[in-house]
A and B are shown apart, each in its own frame.
Chain A
Amino acid sequence: MKKVLAIGLVNAKRFVREKANLFFVFVFPILIVLLIGSFFGGGFNPTVGVYAAGEGSLTEGLLSALDGLENIDVRTYSTEAELVDGVQRGAVQGGLVIPVDYDQSLTSGESSQVGFVARPDQTAILLRQTIEAVIQEQGNLVRAARFAAGHTGGSFADSLAVARIVAPASQRVGVTYREAGDDSLTAEFSGLGTFDLGAHQELVLFMFLTSLAGSAALIQTRQLGVARRMLSTPTGTGTILMGETLGRFNVAMVQGLYIVLGTVLLFRVDWGDPLGALALVTAFALVGAAAGILMGAVFSNDSQAGGLGVLIGLGLAAVGGCMVPIEIFPEGMQTIAKFTPHAWAIDGFSEMVRRDGTFVDILPNLAVLAGFAAVLMLLGTWRLHRVLTR
């Protein structure tokens, strides 16, 4: 154990001596923090533009439902062209086109197609999620009303009014119809600042990406012949690997906490239960460090490892739900995502932030992350022993 510390300490000492690394640890994360801030527009709500071609009580209802959303502002447009223009110029983050026959179609039991216009960015995806939830809810009411009208023989309009009153109180209507769509999910998102969502994912992406760059440290130690020389002392390969991992863990940890604190102070990002957040950052830093060291044991050339590290880092981030929320992945992809540590870390933050979970609720996530780290370190030890002794 003392030897692990000795190796970790030297690793850290050498890291700090390299001035470029200080930029990497302290300045680069600030850029990430600011990037998160600007990307997700911390502090201001996204605005949705609406153009209603026709009128009627359902159209009105939809408009007022959107108006009622806490985190979204609504601006109405009088032509579709103006709306599209507004989206393109970024005046609004998304545009909703309610067709002329919206009321009529729904009342007569046909389906109706609402148009959504947006630029392809993450805010738009989240905006769309929220809007879909609202529409879904209205659809539920309509269906409930039609069901009631069919059974009671009353008019649709009356039944709709009844359904509106009953809906909040009656679990039956609400629950039955919610099964049809995935609005439980969007309900979860709708109460959440879109900004929080992005920050967790950015943190995970960044920590892992920079941890993989840590492979260079082990490759250099190997090239210097020092790694092999360590093995000539009464020190096992496992100890060497743990020491090197500890060195990189320190770096990942400093970066991770730095980003968390920075975003809390600057943008009031919610990271959930502080103890839970600390545990998640710690576990994820360990996974990242172990992954970086494994790469350092596999590759002998640091530019090769660096290039591949970026690919792997971005690839796992995409699959693990750092770029697009995992909840809107198709089901197969959601399963695949479970094989990335990213998904487990993000899920841990979601658990705490969206579902008000605590440290205890994320214990499974922490256990899985610890498992990832253990497996990566075992693989790393095995591989390092091979490259040093053949």
Chain B
Amino acid sequence: MAGNILEARGLRKSFGDLVAVDGVDFHIAEGETYGLLGPNGAGKTTAISMVTGLLEKDSGEVVVAGRSITTSSTDAKAAIGYVPQDIAIYPDLSARENLDFFGRLYGMNGKERSARVGEVLEIIGLADRADDRSEQFSGGMKRRLNIGIGLLHSPRLLMLDEPTVGVDPQSRNAILESVERLSQEGMAVLYTTHYMEEAERLCDRVGIIDHGKILAEGTRAELVALVGQRDRVRMSTNDRTEAAAEALRSHAAVDEVTASDGGLEVLVRGAAAALPRLLELAAGAGVGVTSVEVVEPNLEAVFLHLTGKALRD
């Protein structure tokens, strides 16, 4: 298909008896940010490794920027910037030296390289620590350097494998902002994560992956529609929850009410409109509502709907 920077078809990989990736297809349009969202062990790293030509596929095909990618590809890999899940830098070299080394491997020459290394150091916020050995860096700084290496040659497609795992909130936010900025500048991104919020915030489209299969794929709205447009209203009550549940069920927009410890969970179509009436109904049943929380449907709910389990256990 024209306009796609990446096309992956029929990817499959087993390790012994374990099928880690079981027939994965997806594509990424030029400039698009695509997320693979799934819990630990879902097969995200295995899939991204095959896409970058780092792992031998059992079967399937990967085309990046019109060129087929296998483990023996060299030139075709120039379109890809890869950021592995586990930090891969030389700890005894400085940030600048690490970047410079990989710049050479990306085939960048003298002036161009040193200028670009300077730019990347700015982007990842390590300009003031550029000449310190990276083993002295905090976890978050190492993560940022790890990402910086993948950005060096301004790739058309940046692949990030869980880049925020084990990072402090500040570094995490910096990383997410960088990805947003790169995306705005037109870079296509493949982003894997098990954090629902990151996928929602960054990705134009998301593939939900579990047990090596993509279970559903689409924009956030498309995925949420799978669950149905229902909001979740949580009410904390002081007493008589059973009576309140009865009363609320009588409302036409309410699909489901479950009583839980010290409160109620109500699935409502259009919570904003229905909420005043719901509170009246509760009061009419003689129930005191102490707090109300409205949760719009999210990818977490989609995952729960598709797999019957939570993203993180």
Contacts and interface: CB of A to CB of B under 8 A. Distances in A.
A224 to B, nearest CB: 6
Interface string A1-21: 011001100100110011000
Nearest to B79: A234
A355 interface: no
Contacts of A6: 101, 104-105
Contact of A232 (B52, B89, B91, B92): B52
Interface size on A, as a range, is: 20 to 34
A233 B105 contact: yes
A232 B82 contact: yes
Interface in B9-46: none
A105 B55 CA distance: 79
A139 to B, nearest CB: 65
B74 A236 contact: yes
Contact of B105 (A3, A13, A388): A3
Interface residues of B, number: 31
B75 interface: yes
B154 to A, nearest CB: 14
A22 interface: no
A242 B135 CA distance: 27
Contacts of A13: 93, 97
B105 A14 contact: no
A235 interface: yes
Contacts of A235: 74, 105
A311 B56 CA distance: 34
B90 A10 contact: yes
A384 to B, nearest CB: 12
Nearest to B109: A2
A224 B89 contact: yes
Nearest to B81: A232
A92 B141 CA distance: 68
B88 interface: yes
Contacts of B104: 2-3, 6
B229 interface: no
Contacts of A236: 72, 74
Given A6-B101, A236-B72, A231 B54 contact: yes
A390 B52 CA distance: 13
Nearest to A388: B54
Contacts of B80: 232
B246 interface: no
A225 interface: yes
Interface string A372-390: 0000000000000100111
Given A6-B105, A224-B90, A232 B56 contact: no
Given A13-B93, A14-B93, A226-B89, A233 B77 contact: yes
B176 to A, nearest CB: 22
Contacts of A228: 54, 84, 88
B182 interface: no
A232 B72 CA distance: 10
Interface in A126-174: none
Nearest to A239: B74
Contacts of A225: 84, 86-88
Interface string B99-112: 00110111100000
25 contacts: A2-B107, A6-B101, A10-B101, A13-B97, A14-B92, A224-B89, A225-B86, A225-B87, A228-B54, A228-B84, A229-B82, A229-B84, A229-B149, A232-B80, A233-B105, A234-B75, A234-B76, A234-B105, A234-B106, A234-B107, A236-B72, A385-B71, A385-B72, A389-B71, A390-B55
Given A224-B89, A226-B88, 15 more contacts: A10-B90, A10-B93, A10-B101, A14-B93, A225-B84, A225-B87, A228-B88, A229-B82, A229-B149, A233-B106, A235-B74, A385-B71, A388-B54, A389-B71, A390-B56
